[in-house]
Amino acid sequence: MAFATALRCRECGRLYNLDPIHFCEFCFGPLEVAYDYEAMAKAVSRESIARGPNSLWRYKDFLPVLGDDVVDFSQGFTPLVKAGRLGKALGLRNLYIKNDCVNPTYSFKDRVVAVAATRARELGFDTLACASTGNLAGATAAAAARAGMQANIFIPADLEQGKVLGAAIYGPHIYAIEGSYDQVNRLCSELADKYHWAFVNVNVRPYYAEGSKTMGYEVAEQLGWRAPDWAVAPLASGSMFTKIYKGYKELVQVGILDSVHTRMLATQALGCSPIVTAYNEGSFNVRPVKANTIAKSLAIGNPADGYYALKVIEESNGAGVAMTDAEIVEGMKLLAETEGIFAETAGGVTIAGLVRMAQAGTFQADETIVAYITGNGLKTVEAVVEAVNKPTIIQPTLESFEAAYAANAVGTAR
Amino acid sequence: MPKFRYMFTFGEDTIKEPVIYLVGKHFDVVTNIRRAQIEQDHAWAVLEIEGADDEIERALTYARGLGVQVNLMEGDVITG
């Protein structure tokens, strides 16, 4: 069953058909999918969800797709890991890691693109497009390959070739744009208006964004159908953060959960923290910044959903913190060394924010806390290459090994 | 001619300046205010701006030079 009924302007409330549009023609406010929650409540249950596939499509009734022909290559339904060792280090007895590193292209972007690609195909598009410096490019190119669609990927001309590889392997057309950041953004906006493409985070953004709700549903289901006391997540545009919270709340709206009291903790890199800066100032005016951080996947200086993320912090009695690059690297190392999960820099932001708030006494020791890890560390190895132990070089003899081993043991003992 | 959606944000130091008028006067662009909130010491306005790419770029650079915060309504389209 499909329960999406319309697109609704988040500013003036005007309704639109479920078309490939993303802003209100009257007030230019962003559009969001509206649902018939009364009908949805009659159709969905914990049991009906449990009968679904082991992917985000088990929550299809909550998503803005109308048919059954979904773009599915096992996106989502990623592990929720009890983080015993990290929790112990922080004095937290119920800490969990939502590990979205293990999606098909190794980031949470597979979720949003899955929904965008499915809806795009329903709307008659044969081409997906995006502008990206990494994760979104890979997710879009892979989904297009899986769906038998064309893909056009736009990147800044100065992007390192290594960053492009994760998308190029899927065979998209890649265009490297020369120009200022503002010019590149404007060109992409113009292309989305002019060409009959599904530009995943522009003209089909209302559908795309809904994919992040599944990170809320999954955590609630994996916790035994309850929402956590705290959710800690990294923010770029702010969209994912707002949709995780929306996911929790929708489960209450349809009667699957009794209540939600989750407090949302927003984490950003200090070198690109317009949302947390506004939070610290007690303002809802997000002033754009020029990004300068190792957390490239969070480097959105003009966040489209910044205002709405701030509203979520306020409504949930949450908080916001911004982390230095050094803290981000330490966060990546701490997660890897305690839980065996190698997160990208955005994950370092999450863990660093968690550490800082834990040390500040923000959490109760028994509270259930979920830290969202949104991408794999192999995507950002350059961030930690100088921060990890170098190999000990030895000769191919037992004596050489034992001498080195003894030296390492002495080092460890110290 | 392409059209774009921008938000202009004015602080206390720019609130008295007729920035939108000056943009239309000095550059070959059409501005159309679609939503706005104006207080004594600060304001924002959502504009549709129509014109050639180069001319829009010059107009926006000029507005920024006057101290106005100028943001594409879509936010950053390029993402990680």
- Secondary element (H or E) of residue A252: helix A239-253
Residues 6+ apart with CB under 8 A from A322: A267, A268, A269, A270, A273, A276, A277
What count of CB pairs under 8 Å joins A to B? 98
* Residue B34: closest C-alpha in chain A: A27
A296 closest CB neighbour out of B4, B46, B80: B80
Q: Is residue B4, in this structure, part of any structural domain at all?
A: no
Q: pLDDT tens per residue, chain A (414 residues)?
A: 799 999 999 999 999 999 999 999 999 999 999 999 999 999 999 999 999 999 999 999 999 999 999 999 999 999 999 999 999 999 999 999 999 999 999 999 999 999 999 999 999 999 999 999 889 999 999 999 999 999 999 988 888 777 789 999 999 999 999 987 778 888 888 898 899 999 999 999 999 999 999 999 999 999 999 999 999 999 999 999 999 999 999 999 999 999 999 999 999 999 999 999 999 999 998 988 989 999 999 999 999 999 999 999 999 999 999 999 999 999 999 999 999 999 999 999 999 999 999 999 999 999 999 999 999 999 889 999 999 989 999 999 999 999 999 998 775 554
Contacts of B35 in chain A (CB under 8 A): 11, 27-29
B35 closest CB neighbour out of A27, A193, A296: A27
- Secondary element (H or E) of residue B34: strand B30-38
Q: Is residue B45, in this structure, part of any structural domain at all?
A: yes
The DSSP string of A76-143 is S---EEE-HHHHHHHT-SEEEEEEGGGSTTSBTHHHHHHHHHHHHHHTT--EEEEEBSSHHHHHHHHH
Q: Is residue B9, in this structure, part of any structural domain at all?
A: no
Host domain of residue B36: 16-72
Place of tokens 């909130």: B37
Across the interface, whether the CB atoms of B77 and A202 are under 8 A apart is answered: yes
ipTM over 0.90: no
> Which residue, among B2, B10, B1, B29, has the nearest Cα to B71 in the 3D structure?
B10
Contacts of B79 in chain A (CB under 8 A): 130-133, 135-136, 201, 236-237, 297, 300
Q: How close does chain B come to A156, measured CA to CA in Å? A: 9
Across the interface, whether the CB atoms of A302 and B53 are under 8 A apart is answered: no
The DSSP string of A339-385 is H---B-HHHHHHHHHHHHHHHTT-S-TTSEEEEEE-BBGGGGGGGTT
Q: How close does chain B come to A242, measured CA to CA in Å? A: 16
pLDDT digits (tens, 9 = 90+) for B8-62: 999 999 999 999 999 999 999 999 999 999 999 999 999 999 999 899 999 999 9
Instruction: Give the span between the Cα atoms of A158 and B10, in whole angstroms.
Output: 33
pLDDT at A320: 98
Here the tokens at position B71 are: 């943001």
B residues 1-60 closer than 8 Å to A (CB): 2-5, 9, 34-35, 46, 48, 53, 56-57, 60
Compute, in degrees rounded to 10, the torsion defined by CA atoms A186, A146, A210, B6: 0
Q: Is residue B20, in this structure, part of any structural domain at all?
A: yes
pLDDT at A411: 59
Contacts of B75 in chain A (CB under 8 A): 237, 300, 302-306
Q: Is residue B2, in this structure, part of any structural domain at all?
A: no
Contacts of A190 in chain B (CB under 8 A): 2, 4, 53
pLDDT at B61: 95
**For an interface test with B, which of A21, A28, A349 has the most B Cβ atoms less than 10 Å from its Cβ?**
A28
Contacts of A183 in chain B (CB under 8 A): 53, 57
* Residue A29: closest C-alpha in chain B: B73
pLDDT at A414: 47
Contact in structure between A209 and A116 (CB atoms under 8 Å):
no
pLDDT at A28: 92
Do the strands A198-199 and B30-38 form a parallel or antiparallel pair, or are they unpaired? unpaired
Instruction: Give the span between the Cα atoms of A216 and A246, in whole angstroms.
Output: 8
B78 closest CB neighbour out of A131, A287, A305: A131
Contacts of A130 in chain B (CB under 8 A): 79
CATH of the domain at B52: 3.30.70.260
C-alpha atoms less than 13 angstroms from C-alpha of A356 in its C-beta half-sphere: 22
Q: Is A315 left (phi over 0), alpha (psi -120 to 50) or beta?
A: alpha
Please provide the average confidence, as pLDDT, over all residues in chain B.
93
Across the interface, whether the CB atoms of A185 and B34 are under 8 A apart is answered: no
Instruction: Give the span between the Cα atoms of A179 and B77, in whole angstroms.
Output: 14
Here the tokens at position A376 are: 């794999």
B76 closest CB neighbour out of A26, A29, A300: A300
pLDDT at A157: 85
Across the interface, whether the CB atoms of A302 and B75 are under 8 A apart is answered: yes
Here the tokens at position A39 are: 């009908």
Contact in structure between A346 and A299 (CB atoms under 8 Å):
no
Contacts of B80 in chain A (CB under 8 A): 132-136, 236, 296-300, 346
Q: How close does chain A come to B11, measured CA to CA in Å? A: 11
List the beta bridge partners of residue B6: B47, B72
pLDDT at A51: 97
Q: Is residue B54, in this structure, part of any structural domain at all?
A: yes
Residues 6+ apart with CB under 8 A from A267: A232, A233, A234, A235, A276, A320, A321, A322, A323, A349, A350, A352, A353, A354
Contacts of A110 in chain B (CB under 8 A): none
Contact in structure between A21 and A6 (CB atoms under 8 Å):
no
B73 part of contact set with chain A, CB < 8 Å? yes
Q: How close does chain B come to A11, measured CA to CA in Å? A: 10
- Please give the tally of structural domains in chain B: 1
Compute, in degrees rounded to 10, the torsion defined by CA atoms A249, A250, A253, A255: -100
Contact in structure between A131 and A184 (CB atoms under 8 Å):
yes
